Structure 1
């Protein structure tokens, strides 16, 4: 089975996997948990799967960004894009040289703490609160570099981390956080894709077919958020973060 000519059934499987992932990712992040394992399960080597996954991730993130654009309220957003892009460049390069085992255990701990903190605080993200970091540029410096690096290096769950950061540090509710983080997630995705295009081979046919699925899923998911009060977002957030914890733990300990 050649990697440029997968059996037709695999294209259908990957299309629908991307559609579902785009829907979930546009709301709470974590779409990479669906698409990356799907690519690998179709027999595509890990490095090709990672690079190809960025093609379709960019499509979904861009669609959600455009849909939410008029509802974006983060000030000084250019600073967020700038620091996130720098972090993504460093993270994407690091994939070539750094073993990810040590980083995975750090991510596992952070995800577990995120899950517990969110689950044990019933009102977290329900209402807007006073920000813990009042200087938005400091927020972008810390979170942009950190989460940009993570998205370039590993990726899965980046959107969830962004939402959590906006809720806990900027005092946003879940709905507002979900809408305001997509352009930052898109930034790290497009930068990482550029690095991977330079360093790796990309399966364009697979990536573009999945990209169409991502666009449809992201459009449906973002429209759902805009039309509802967003109460379901916290529950979905906990489900996605919980699955991410299981996935990262399985990769680390298996």
Structure 2
């Protein structure tokens, strides 16, 4: 158990660091726990990762909140719908074959990477392209979609939320990251409520991982706020490309 715990805590630190900047820390943390603890049910391992995820995300959200002005109507619409959708996703996680969804995610990520790379001003400046009512409606719709995905699978949720806040709602990278963290807290909380009520959390691993995830989030948030939007854009691209490679490898390896 000691070796497994050390490996998981190391991964949790890196995941917290990445997640605080651009989201997507789960893309490192989730495959790692599936590999390191192969004898446990998938639902149990996914539930366990939610504890460190919500710890790091909460710290990052707190630090962002001190320097970012939140759009509370948009935030509430997205967070509330995402919460209930994540509950449904967590309920269904043991009833749907995740391998069916992986190829779809890979295609989406390729599109995200190309769009971000080709559009040099993407997320650099805040753009208000919609009326408030339309922003709230869109936030609620995408909250449902991404919240359901987070409860069902999880990895990459932060990156998808950031993409929506930028491409759909017109935020810059820093603002998008801040809002995404709050929504991600809601989805993680929903999943934790379900997984803990059904005994699907290994607290002996989850608590130490949470401490290391917090540490990573502290340094990641500090770096993001120090370096600004251009740095976060580059980091976002790196994480998305890494995610594409990871999903492509999984799909080719398993033949799904």
TM-score normalised per structure 2: 0.90
CA deviations 1:212-234 (Å, max 9, x no partner) are: 00111111111222223232111
Structure 2 distance, partners of 1:183, 1:32, is 16
> 2:19 aligns to what SS in structure 1?
helix
Residue 47 (structure 1) aligned to one of 23, 43, 61: 43
1:38 alignment counterpart: 32
**Among 124, 127, 130, which residue is 1:129 paired with?**
127
> In 2, Cα distance between the equivalents of 1:111 and 1:194?
29
1:135-150 matched pairs, under 5 angstroms: 135-150=134-149
Q: Distance in 2 between the 1:161 and 1:218 partners?
A: 18
Confirm or deny: 8 A CA contact 1:19 1:214 kept in the other structure. yes
Corresponding residue for residue 83 of structure 2: 85
Which is further off, 160-169 or 172-181? 172-181
2: distance between equivalents of 1:133 and 1:97? 39
Deviations 1:56-75 (A, max 9, x none): 11111111122222324223
Instruction: Give the C-alpha shift of residue 204 in structure 1.
Output: 0.4
2:18 equivalent to 1:21? no
1:120-199 equivalence runs, <5 A: 120-132=118-130, 134=132, 135-199=134-198
Task: Give the match for residue 219 of structure 1.
Answer: 218
Q: Residues 43 and 101 of structure 1: is their aligned pair in 2 closer, same or farther, counting only changes over 3 Å?
A: closer
1:21-67 per-residue CA deviation (whole Å, 9 max, x = no partner) reads 10100110111122122222323433332121111111111111222
Give runs of ≥4 in structure 1 deviating > 4 Å: none
Name the structure 1 match of 2:113: 115
1:199 & 1:247 partners in 2: Cα distance?
A: 30
Pairs aligned (count): 248
Q: What is residue 3 of structure 1 aligned with on the other side?
A: none
TM-fit CA distance, 1:132 = 4.7
Alignment TM-score, normalising by the size of structure 1:
0.91
Structure 2 CA distance for aligned equivalents of residues 133 and 177 of structure 1 = 17
- Between the aligned partners of 1:178 and 1:18, the Cα distance in structure 2 is 19
Contact 2:51/2:206 (CA < 8 Å) preserved in 1? yes
Segments of structure 1 that go 5 or more residues without pairing to the other structure are 1-5
Q: Contact 1:72/1:180 (CA < 8 Å) preserved in 2?
A: no
DSSP-derived class of the 2:122 partner? coil
What is the rounded CA distance, in whole Å, between the counterparts of 2:93 and 2:57 in structure 1?
Answer: 22
Residue 101 to residue 124, structure 1, CA distance change in 2 (3 Å): same
The 3 A distance-change label for structure 1 pair 217 and 72 is farther
CA distance in 1, matches of 2:156, 2:109: 9
Unaligned stretches of 5+ residues in structure 2: none
Give runs of aligned pairs for residues 204-243 of structure 1, distance below 5 A.
Answer: 204-243=203-242
